[in-house]
Amino acid sequence: MSTLQKLFDNSHKAIKDRTYEISESIQKSSIDLIQSIQENKHASLITEVKFSSPSLGKIRQKSDPVQIAQAMVDGGAKALSVLTQPYLFEGSPQYFMNIRKQVKIPMLMKDIIVDKVQIDAARKIGADYMLLIQSLFDQNFLKDIDEFIDYGHKNGLKVLIEAHTKSEFANSLNTEADLVGINNRNLDTLKIDINTTKTLLENNPQSRIIVSESGIESPQDIKFLKQCGAGAFLIGSSIMKSENIKESVRSLVNAI
């Protein structure tokens, strides 16, 4: 079974297990992420709170997600990505809500969205952004990406759409997504190559901010990806593995 199929099935399992039934309603951030990226003279980081992943297994001992998020904010992150997918990622909407109540910066609900029920949950937990994965639509797991984006926008959410191949990237640029991400990880093989960002951005005039995702570990990586045309950087594992999260974030922010 492909990783994509596994991720797709996990989301349906989480829906069945009532993971996304949220009774609260929390305010989202009042900060405009796109504007703060445009005005930032340093590297704009979207840092990710996640304890496990399909490719690495356990990344960090489970500890207080709020403390981790606060360290990321103190280090200079412009936004937080928080996993809400319970299977393979050990995430939860509850973690997201606990963090949302304590931080002011924009937050992305990081999940494999396969149903509008998850978008309803994103609104309730105070997400500013939701993630859509282009390959789920291109490989016919899901039907109409424009419908999902439109539903997100109607619910006050902005959309980060992620692509990995040239055709996915071209398709994602044809949508109304607010940010376009390039995932340097192949979701079928889980292999990472940060040259993916370079390849996809060659001869591509940027009409939107491009977020480079996965495999970013050092200030050199940030400098390289910035030269390729990336405007922001989504970084999870390398920061979550770090002993000093605040300093790790700070050194990456100051790469530019």
How far is Cα 176 from Cα 151, in angstroms, rounded to an integer?
A: 12
Say whether 183 is catalytic.
yes
CA distance 185 to 165: 10
- Does position 130 have pLDDT exceeding 70, yes or no? yes
Q: How confident is the model at residue 150 (pLDDT cuts 50, 70, 90)?
A: very high
> Is 24 an active-site residue?
no
Give me the mean pLDDT over the 130-147 stretch: 96
Task: Answer yes or no: 238 catalytic.
Answer: no
Q: Which of 213, 238, 246, 248 is catalytic?
A: 213
Flag whether pLDDT at 156 surpasses 90: yes
Average pLDDT over residues 195-205: 90
**Which residue type sits at 201?**
L
* Orientation angle between helical segments 65-75 and 93-100, nearest 10 degrees: 50
Mean pLDDT of 209-215: 96
- Going from the N-terminus, what domains does the chain have, and what CATH number goes with each? 3-20+27-253 (3.20.20.70)
State the catalytic residue, choosing from 28, 48, 246, 248.
Answer: 48
Residue 242 has pLDDT above 60, yes or no: yes
Give the residue-averaged pLDDT of 138-145. 95
214 is annotated as an active-site residue: yes
pLDDT above 70 (res 27): yes
From the candidates 11, 28, 50, 124, give the one annotated as an active-site residue.
50
Q: What is the pLDDT of residue 140?
A: 95
90 carries an active-site annotation: no
| Overall average pLDDT of the 116-136 stretch | 98
